[in-house]
Amino acid sequence: MAAVAARPGLGRRILDALDERLGLRALSYPVPEHANKLAYSLGGLAVVSFLLLLATGIVLAQFYDPMPETAHTSVRRLITEVTLGAYLRGFHYWAAMAMVVLVGLHLLRVFVSGAFKRPREGNWIVGVILAGMTALFFFSGTVLKWDQEALEALEHNIEIGELLGRLGFWFSPRFGGVPLLLRIYTVHIAILPALFFLIVGVHLLLVKRHGIAPSPFRHGPEPEPTEPFSRHLARLGGFALILVGLLTALAVLAPPGHGPAPVEGIEVTKPPWPLLWLYPIENWVGVSGILWATLAVFTALLVVPFVDRGPERHPLRRLAVVVPAALVVLAILALIVYGALTPVTTHIEG
């Protein structure tokens, strides 16, 4: 009897058995308390939205036909005829918006809290690459829906490819043996996801290697209490549930539209809002403005850890870097609003 009483409970034994084989307890390594804040869960939530996009994308791919002649019809059919198709597409759309916003906010949080400083400069660059890939995901997804807006986005892509001269061969409709739309589809559903997983893996390993950056807002000499990382994961799960609920509600209450079948040689649409800040720039500079503005923003992001080098993390004591960055963010937001108000213009002559 005594031997039986000493045995641990069933749940405990299952956990032990799993831990012995899968190493689950390794996840309960200590992390500082401030890592449990929402601001420090934005990157995790971006990964969650990526997984949601993956899941819904797998289902969408069963109904999407990536050939230019039939792509538009297949999207229409998904929306109007497939059971829950419109909701699924709406969820994918809103999850994409969420991922763009979350990646942007995560980047801002890391910048403001100075978390990119030595020795984390390398991981900042990995993160900027991931942000660039998020932009590519978003853009290629915009093209796939193959309505008027999609075709105009693709025409801009081709035009920018031509600006790059020989280097832009990849974006030429004459390169490769299949239609450009099909090649963009493979980028969206195979090439980008594979690379993204790989690079997110590197990103997370480096976070583990360096640990969570100390909070710049913490005072006092006593060391910060720690929490097991498994707790951070559980809290992230809570945030993820809220995210899933909000995305589902948006998919039902505010589904994305789908324009008429595309016609070449006219420009009558504007890009979706995350790309809208480029629209007025294109009005002023021409198509090349898109290329230069994008290059400028990403170059600026890449040089951040080499310009802002001192050990100081508090944003108010790094005003020389924080103020210009805030101005850039405000300018982009203002350009988005201006782009939404400005009338539609033709940039590419047929």
Partner 1 sequence: MYEGGRYCVDVLDQLSAARAALGSVAMLILEDHVNTCVAEALEGGDGRAKAAELLATVGRFVRSVRPKMDAIRARLFLVSIVALALAWPAGAALAHEEEEQVPARTLVKQAIALLRGQPEQVEAIEDKIHDALAAEDTEGVDLELVERADRAFEEGKIHLAQDLLEEAIGAAPHRVVATPNPEPGMPAPSPEPEAEPSPVLHERALRGGLRAPTGVAGPVLLGLAGLAVLLGLIVVRRVR
Residues that bind partner 1 (CB under 8 A): 36, 69-70, 72-73, 76, 79-80, 84, 87, 147-148, 159, 162-163, 231, 234-235, 237-249, 251-266, 268-269, 286-288, 344, 348-350
Nearest approach, Cβ of residue 84 and partner 1 (Å) = 6
Nearest approach, Cβ of residue 256 and partner 1 (Å) = 5
Q: Please, is 245 exposed, middle or buried when counting C-beta atoms within 10 Å of its C-beta (0-12, 13-18, 19+)?
A: exposed
Distance CA 299, CA 292 (A): 10
* Closer CB to partner 1, 121 or 283, in the complex: 283
Which of 154, 145, 146, 105 lies closest to 274, judged by CA? Answer: 105
Backbone angles phi, psi at 280, to 5 degrees: -65, -35
The one-letter amino acid code at 198 reads L
* Closer CB to partner 1, 34 or 117, in the complex: 34
* Closer CB to partner 1, 159 or 308, in the complex: 159
Q: Determine if residue 213 is left, alpha or beta; phi over 0 gives left, psi from -120 to 50 gives alpha, anything else beta.
A: beta
Nearest approach, Cβ of residue 178 and partner 1 (Å) = 16
* Closer CB to partner 1, 65 or 121, in the complex: 65
* Closer CB to partner 1, 263 or 295, in the complex: 263
Which of 138, 148, 136, 129 lies closest to 92, judged by CA? Answer: 138
Nearest approach, Cβ of residue 208 and partner 1 (Å) = 20
Nearest approach, Cβ of residue 244 and partner 1 (Å) = 5
Which of 108, 321, 116 lies closest to 213, judged by CA? Answer: 116
- Measure CA 74 to chain center: 26
Note whether 275 and 139 are within 8 A (CB). yes
Nearest approach, Cβ of residue 201 and partner 1 (Å) = 25
* Closer CB to partner 1, 288 or 299, in the complex: 288
